[in-house]
Each structure stands twice: as structure tokens, then as C-alpha cells.
């Protein structure tokens, strides 16, 4: 998610393309925002099934996207293979996630996923009660 393309925001020696970050947050299946300063990552796994909803957690940083996928596979064995993981190295402050609108984008998508999951559960409950 770091681009050497002028038009983004300078982050170290690179330009951070906020539009690409926002697009990835909207479309990504698994997203890992890594915070090198803290050796931590915010991991968002949007996959869900009938019994398990999406996952959002703070995790130890990993050395590679492959290592993150392996950790998710161990944690969520009933899920299919991760098709795509988006890794966003975030060297800026945590507060900048809020000030740049990134946290709102994360919450917006999370709420959509949660609402859809709850609607499906309520529908199933109603079907069980009616039958």
C-alpha cells in the first residue's frame, strides 16, 4: 500500500496513497495494518460463515503476509483459504488513522458486516420459530 507515486502523503521515503488505502479497506478480504513502532498489527478478516462472524483483533507483528495467512488459518480452521491479503505498513501515529478518516472507513465496513450477519441470524431465528 506504499507507493513511490507523488500525490500521496510523505511517509518516510515513500508516498502513502490514501485513496488506495481507502479502496483496500472497502474491498479487502483480509487487511493487516502493521504498526512497526509497537511491533503490533490491526488484523481485519472479513470472512464469515453461519457460525462465525468477521474478526478484528490486535496481534503481534509478523515477518510476512504468508506468516499472517498461516496464523489466520490456525485461528480459523473452518474457513476457506485466504484469497487476498492487504498489508498496510503504518509508520504514522495511531491518531492519524482517525484524523485521516481511515478509522471511520474501518468502522463503517465493520458495521455493515455485523448488521448483515445479525440480519441473517434474526431471519434464521424467525424461520425456526415459525416452523
Q: What is the pLDDT of residue 3?
A: 39
Domain locations in the chain?
2-130
Q: Which range among 25-34, 49-58, 118-127 shows the weakest confidence by mean pLDDT?
A: 118-127
Mean pLDDT of the chain: 82
% of the chain beyond a pLDDT of 90: 34
Local confidence band at 31 (pLDDT 50, 70, 90 cut-offs) = very high
**pLDDT tens for residues 95-109?**
888 899 998 898 888
Instruction: Give the mean model confidence (pLDDT) for residues 68-79.
Output: 95
Q: How far apart are CA 128 and CA 42, in angstroms?
A: 37
The answer to whether 28 and 113 are in contact (CB under 8 A) is no
Amino acid at each position: 500500500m506504499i507507493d513511490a507515486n507523488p500525490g500521496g502523503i510523505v511517509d518516510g521515503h515513500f508516498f502513502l496513497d490514501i485513496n488506495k488505502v481507502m479502496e483496500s479497506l472497502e474491498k479487502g478480504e483480509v487487511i493487516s495494518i502493521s504498526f512497526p513502532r509497537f511491533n503490533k498489527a490491526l488484523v481485519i478478516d472479513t470472512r464469515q460463515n453461519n457460525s462465525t462472524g468477521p474478526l478484528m483483533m490486535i496481534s503481534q507483528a509478523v515477518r510476512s503476509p504468508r506468516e499472517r495467512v498461516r496464523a489466520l488459518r490456525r485461528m480459523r480452521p473452518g474457513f476457506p483459504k485466504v484469497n487476498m491479503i492487504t498489508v498496510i505498513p503504518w509508520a504514522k501515529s495511531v491518531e492519524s488513522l482517525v484524523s485521516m478518516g481511515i478509522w471511520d472507513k474501518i468502522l463503517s465496513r465493520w458495521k455493515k458486516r455485523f448488521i448483515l450477519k445479525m440480519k441473517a441470524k434474526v431471519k434464521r431465528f424467525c424461520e425456526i420459530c415459525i416452523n
